[in-house]
Structure 1
Amino acid sequence: MQSFFDDESQLAPARVEVEHLDNGGFILRSPEPLGPYARCVGEWLEKWAKETPDAIYFAERDGDGWRELTYAQVRDIVGRLGQGLLDMGLSSAQPLVVLSSNDLNHAMLTLAAMHVGVPIGTVSVAYSKGRKDYTKLTAILKSFNPGAIFVSHGEDYAPSLLSVKPSCPIIVGQDPEAIPGSIHIDQLYNSKETPAVMEAFYALTGESHARYLLTSGSTGEPKVVVNTHKMLCSNQQMIAQCWRFLDNRKLRVLDWLPWSHTFGANHNFNMVLRNGGSFYIDDGLPMPGRIERTIENIKYVRPTMFFNVPRGYDVLLPYIEKDPELAEALFADLDALFYAAAALPQNTWDRIHKVASTVRDTPLFFTSEWGATETTPVLTNVHFRIDKPGNLGLPVPGIEIKFIPSGDKLEMRVKGPSVFTEYLNDPELAARSFDSDGFYMIGDAGYLLDEAHPEKGIVFNGRVTEDFKLTTGTWVSVGTLRPALVSALAPYVSDCVICGHDRSEIGVLAFPTPALRELAGPEGETMHADELAQVPAVRQALLKGMKRHYAENKASSRHARRLLLLNSAPNIEIGEITDKGYINQRMAISYRADDVKRLFAEPLDPAVILITEETGE
């Protein structure tokens, strides 16, 4: 099959300007000026509802089929829901807070709220489902001061809401009787739009609050980031100037990434709307028992862009390799395949390209970006061909990246119109987040792939704050060690958590791939991680990778002696995957504290794989 673009004309050229600083650092920026962008998110909806009213905009599964809404239908719904929110008294001072996951009601309420100047705050379901303690949820809701709360299913969220007892109205999609006094969403759908909706719409400015999102908490407690309309709209313009094909073909996207996370919300959700595309909500997940639904959905949607985290590709790959129909459905019409950050193993990259080549006449454009919740989110974009993962690309138009020496690393700081200026109700914290030159101190480190040719891109080098010391006083560079270990353990480990603070040696908590479970035979798919680690073939495969890495990195700070397999995938909902797409070391170590104890326990836990210099195990 022929790709939409068979040359580089649909991608911006790889160019960058470098300004050298007196302290040995430098600033990178795009030589291309940022073009004009929309005043507010709702301008995109108004545009497409007029220009392509019959085009499919949003869709979700409805039994064996799909419920599809056109741009004209969505605009009508947004007018009615927007009126309903205004009638309830919601305003810029009292946002709409959503506690449930992605669905069509959630999408319509999001668009309606932003259309009439009501900020939308989506909170990870991890805070409100499957918990016994709702202390954090209580604190989060207090910080938001919601005018109303929406949940998709009353029965699912009744335990948390009846415990927290919010004073604002609760809107429910289904089962409203489970929460006494709640409002069924049909009451809002039955509202009649009045001139008040467009009056509120025209009153919006670029500085109006659009979204409130919690950070992943990689540097402490989650913070509420204020995303303005200017931030959201300028960022989509930045992306479009790098990926020029966005202006030349309608997107067709299938996506599961949660709207409580900047990747799913600000990047994917807004990209489809800005470019007049079609968004199909994927009710599958990259995990056993749910991936099958994603496979069905891919075959129906045949996406033109596909987004995922590295773990998602690891789970999906075996199915793509074995099912030609699925491979054809995923890759044949694809303009770009996207992964987040630098954690994708080389083996996964190679396997994806291999299977894509069986159904494509032109090379797959496999791409990535770097950013954060505070930057809505994109700062850098890969808009040129790369031959391996790990490249963050180049600054998008309008963004400046300052590199300053920090120990043996270069700390990256950023500035531009899509960078935040405030945390909700915490101006002092926001002020401390910027240096004297107005650059946001994002906390990440990076370096140029080729100093003589900066246009080749930036390489991620970990968090400045996530490195730690062993009891020997030796510093461990997590950003360097983690991808090296993942590569050495490929294709059997998708990612890992580096442990060892105030210990004498480094240990690793590893996320196994389906390929590792296959080594255990038919029973491997359902085995607990502890059982899996004691299967001889599995143990030998992991030991071989660890020994190979150890042989090349014998310094105590550059290799791991212990490894424990984890039984569950990284949890994006609780922030175990950061807004930049890689493992949140702080959150993972806290969330998996019992596994860390087992990793270093004496006597040795039977599931822990240990290497020594003398014996090899």
Structure 2
Amino acid sequence: MTALSRYRPHNVLREQRADGTILLRSGDALGPVADRTGDWLHQWAEAAPERVFLAERSGPGWRELSYRTVLQKVRAVAAALLGRGLGPQTPIMILSGNGADHGILSLAGQYAGIPVVPVAEQYALIPGAHGRLRHAMELIGPKLAYTVDAGPYGEALALDVFEGVEIVSSRPGRSGATPFSDLLKGAGGVDVEAAFAAVTPESVVKILMTSGSTSSPKGVMTTQRMMCANQAMLAESLPFLRDRPPRIVDWLPWNHVFGGSHNFNMMLANGGSLYIDDGKPVKGLFGRTVENLGLISGTALFNVPVGFSMMLEAMRKDDHLRKMVLSDLDMLFYAGASLPQEVWSGFEQMAMETRGEVPLMTSSWGLTETAPATMIQQEPTERSGVVGVPMAGVTVKLVPEEDARFEVRVKGPNIMPGYFRAPEKTAEAFDDEGFFITGDAMSFVAPDDANMGMRFEGRISEDFKLTSGTWVRAGQLRLEVLACLGPLASDLVITGADRDEIGVMIFPDLAALEVAGYETAEQEGALQDPKLLAAIHRCLAERARAMSGSSSRIARAMVLAEPPSMPEGEMTAKGNLNFRKVLSRRAELLERLYAPQDPCVARI
């Protein structure tokens, strides 16, 4: 049976209020929900004790850990943590990226009711980002912190915020850190069963830091109910997850909700196998991803659009990789941004050529605060950019905006109880009906048919007005312009607030520029290359001819010489731009963009 014959059709119930507000729900009931993630671990350790749950690279192959082995290790580490006096009020900070020990420690905390707080490893490894790490440490106040290798993290661990915090490391070296192997020895006299029994669906067992793209990062309190309900929703939407155990080779970081809750728990809830990809879709590391994908064939493939673009190019050159990636695939799932249509079409064509059918190509929508999946495109579609319909158990509230857009608010068992130690921010996050205010905007694919799904239209906070009073929907416009510029731009910022025209400040893909033969010269923060500016002019001018009105027409463009800086707050650990920070830090370049004449500005 193929993935295409096993999808669940959309079944949306729509309620229209007199004020124009729309409520959307799924007509499908939410099935049984586990109480705790530890229940899944026990279930599969009994039903499939030797099946691989977690695996990481070791030499030419993999270090594979079965469900039975993971359960044994989780219970031992849980005992060691409890023996140290840790509990619900003493969270654990995890500084390192994905790894088997990281996964065991996280599950042990959840098993014993001790919140785990995974943060971006860049916060510790990049000295300029230590301010973000300090903020997280001061907010959380952990008693124990874990790092896979104490050596590279030494400078961060020497910060005063780690005074009195026990440091645990899988490779402690001479740092004086507690070896992770000590935790695996457990602790005598500790009643692990009683601690596990005391964990309830309401227990907060994970705190995830928001990206901080609009304010200081907040700690999202994540409960057992949120994570367990979200997996029940996903299984209702994607029945093939229950037909056979899923298997993924995945790099997405566990300090993000996509990789650490959505993907990790999808494997655990359905008795699947997670092979940890130690590569990334960036120059210098993508080769490792290609190697890993060539070793293990997955049933689901998760990535961000740039990763799928790089993967498509690699598969065009490598028959073995193409067969390994596509031969057993039920689902290709993108998130983080809209997948360029040419990449979507490329995968469709390659799948047909390789296996004679196309797997379910889909996306979802959600936030850290929503565990995350809240809406999903659960039936096949021919286009990218559709985020789908509400999942079972969720109510989506659509508050009308201008231009057929809606502000999105949500309610359901997957929504957070609040932000950690931030009651005022928590109160601001919910409306008077208890709906979480997401700040995102959406529109219907077909206004008269909710089952066709919805399109993401950007963050409402990114919108601005021109001096003419015309609203610019900057979030959606950014996605459109990125698609227009193709490989020339890695990201960009839309400008024009309180000005006469819309502009764009482009962060280039320097590798793509080099391949294309552009000879760029820097002039005080901007790139000056007549050929490059002419290429950008052609792209945007062609787009402008198809546009009507000033709300989406780009009038000027500049290519920035310096990439976005994480230490300066221009980029979050998730790779998202902090638009306000970019514009404030590069205020002089912004003024040059709107100057009458500048050799680094393309006028369209």
Please state which band the TM-score falls in when normalised by the shorter chain: over 0.9
What CA distance in whole angstroms lies between the structure 2 residues aligned with 1:491 and 1:551? Answer: 21
Per the alignment, in what secondary structure is the counterpart of residue 89 of structure 1? coil
Contact conserved, 1:100 with 1:125, CA < 8 A, in 2? yes
Contact conserved, 1:314 with 1:494, CA < 8 A, in 2? no
Q: Note the C-alpha offset of 1:497.
A: 2.6
Q: Does 1:551 align with 2:545?
A: yes
The residue aligned with 2:335 is: 340
Q: Does 1:32 align with 2:28?
A: yes
Contact conserved, 2:82 with 2:190, CA < 8 A, in 1? no
What CA distance in whole angstroms lies between the structure 2 residues aligned with 1:23 and 1:578? Answer: 40
Q: Note the C-alpha offset of 1:611.
A: 2.1
The residue aligned with 2:153 is: 157
The residue aligned with 2:208 is: 213
**Among the aligned pairs, what percent are the same residue?**
35
Q: Note the C-alpha offset of 1:411.
A: 0.7
Deviations 1:31-56 (A, max 9, x none): 11111111101111011111100001
What CA distance in whole angstroms lies between the structure 1 residues aligned with 2:296 and 2:586? Answer: 40
User: Of 387, 404, 419, which residue of structure 2 is paired with 1:392?
Assistant: 387
Deviations 1:309-332 (A, max 9, x none): 112122322212221211111111
Deviations 1:110-167 (A, max 9, x none): 1111111111111112322212463332221121121211111111111112123422
Q: Closer, same or farther in 2 for the Cα pair 1:554/1:452, shift >3 Å? A: closer
Tell which deviates more after alignment, 355-364 or 278-287.
Answer: 355-364
What CA distance in whole angstroms lies between the structure 2 residues aligned with 1:572 and 1:163? Answer: 16
Q: Does 1:500 align with 2:490?
A: no
The residue aligned with 1:431 is: 427
User: Of 311, 315, 330, which residue of structure 1 is paired with 2:325?
Assistant: 330
Equivalent residue runs for 1:163-312 within 5 Å: 163-166=159-162, 167-178=164-175, 180=176, 182-191=177-186, 196-312=191-307
Deviations 1:70-98 (A, max 9, x none): 11111111111111111111100101110
Q: Does 1:88 align with 2:88?
A: no
Q: Does 1:143 align with 2:134?
A: no
Q: Does 1:54 align with 2:45?
A: no
Contact conserved, 1:29 with 1:395, CA < 8 A, in 2? yes
Matched residue type, 1:239:
L
The residue aligned with 1:461 is: 457
Q: Note the C-alpha offset of 1:603.
A: 8.3
The residue aligned with 1:101 is: 97
Contact conserved, 1:254 with 1:280, CA < 8 A, in 2? yes
Tell which deviates more after alignment, 53-62 or 349-358.
Answer: 349-358
RMSD after superposition: 2.8
The residue aligned with 2:69 is: 73
Contact conserved, 1:253 with 1:280, CA < 8 A, in 2? yes
Contact conserved, 2:129 with 2:566, CA < 8 A, in 1? no
Tell which deviates more after alignment, 155-164 or 534-543.
Answer: 534-543
Per the alignment, in what secondary structure is the counterpart of residue 507 of structure 1? strand
Tell which deviates more after alignment, 21-30 or 470-479.
Answer: 470-479
Per the alignment, in what secondary structure is the counterpart of residue 28 of structure 2? coil
Q: Note the C-alpha offset of 1:168.
A: 1.9
Per the alignment, in what secondary structure is the counterpart of residue 362 of structure 1? coil
Q: Does 1:485 align with 2:477?
A: no
The residue aligned with 2:358 is: 363
Contact conserved, 1:154 with 1:174, CA < 8 A, in 2? yes
Q: Note the C-alpha offset of 1:240.
A: 0.5
Q: Closer, same or farther in 2 for the Cα pair 1:20/1:399, shift >3 Å? A: same
Q: Closer, same or farther in 2 for the Cα pair 1:69/1:146, shift >3 Å? A: same
Q: Note the C-alpha offset of 1:222.
A: 1.3
Matched residue type, 2:165:
C
Deviations 1:201-237 (A, max 9, x none): 1111100011100112244221101000001100110
Q: Does 1:590 align with 2:581?
A: yes
What CA distance in whole angstroms lies between the structure 1 residues aligned with 2:38 and 2:522? Answer: 47
The residue aligned with 1:615 is: none
The residue aligned with 1:610 is: 602
Matched residue type, 1:274:
A
Matched residue type, 1:416:
G
What CA distance in whole angstroms lies between the structure 2 residues aligned with 1:574 and 1:469? Answer: 25
What CA distance in whole angstroms lies between the structure 1 residues aligned with 2:487 and 2:112? Answer: 49
Q: Give unpaired runs (5+ residues) of structure 2.
A: none
Deviations 1:491-537 (A, max 9, x none): 5445433233344433324455699447525x99xx89999966666
Q: Closer, same or farther in 2 for the Cα pair 1:435/1:249, shift >3 Å? A: same
Tell which deviates more after alignment, 343-352 or 63-72.
Answer: 343-352
User: Of 402, 407, 410, which residue of structure 1 is paired with 2:406?
Assistant: 410
- TM-score of the superposed pair, with normalisation by structure 1: 0.90
Q: Closer, same or farther in 2 for the Cα pair 1:529/1:121, shift >3 Å? A: farther
Q: Closer, same or farther in 2 for the Cα pair 1:588/1:465, shift >3 Å? A: closer
Deviations 1:552-593 (A, max 9, x none): 2253331222142576589799894798xxx845x1442575
Matched residue type, 2:589:
R
The residue aligned with 2:445 is: 449
Contact conserved, 1:475 with 1:557, CA < 8 A, in 2? yes
Per the alignment, in what secondary structure is the counterpart of residue 403 of structure 1? strand
Per the alignment, in what secondary structure is the counterpart of residue 412 of structure 1? strand
Contact conserved, 1:253 with 1:303, CA < 8 A, in 2? yes
Per the alignment, in what secondary structure is the counterpart of residue 106 of structure 2? helix
What CA distance in whole angstroms lies between the structure 2 residues aligned with 1:559 and 1:396? Answer: 36
Q: Note the C-alpha offset of 1:12.
A: 1.2
Contact conserved, 1:345 with 1:486, CA < 8 A, in 2? no
Matched residue type, 1:590:
K
Per the alignment, in what secondary structure is the counterpart of residue 67 of structure 1? strand
What CA distance in whole angstroms lies between the structure 2 residues aligned with 1:77 and 1:493? Answer: 46
Q: Note the C-alpha offset of 1:604.
A: 6.3
Give the count of matched residue pairs: 598
Q: Note the C-alpha offset of 1:343.
A: 2.3
Tell which deviates more after alignment, 139-148 or 299-308.
Answer: 139-148
What CA distance in whole angstroms lies between the structure 1 residues aligned with 2:416 and 2:229? Answer: 12
The residue aligned with 2:2 is: 5
Q: Closer, same or farther in 2 for the Cα pair 1:573/1:302, shift >3 Å? A: farther
Tell which deviates more after alignment, 547-556 or 148-157.
Answer: 547-556
Tell which deviates more after alignment, 140-149 or 292-301.
Answer: 140-149
Q: Does 1:42 align with 2:38?
A: yes
What CA distance in whole angstroms lies between the structure 2 residues aligned with 1:551 and 1:438? Answer: 45
What CA distance in whole angstroms lies between the structure 1 residues aligned with 2:327 and 2:508? Answer: 29
What CA distance in whole angstroms lies between the structure 2 residues aligned with 1:573 and 1:198? Answer: 46
What CA distance in whole angstroms lies between the structure 2 residues aligned with 1:308 and 1:584? Answer: 15
Q: Closer, same or farther in 2 for the Cα pair 1:71/1:298, shift >3 Å? A: same
What CA distance in whole angstroms lies between the structure 1 residues aligned with 2:126 and 2:114? Answer: 29
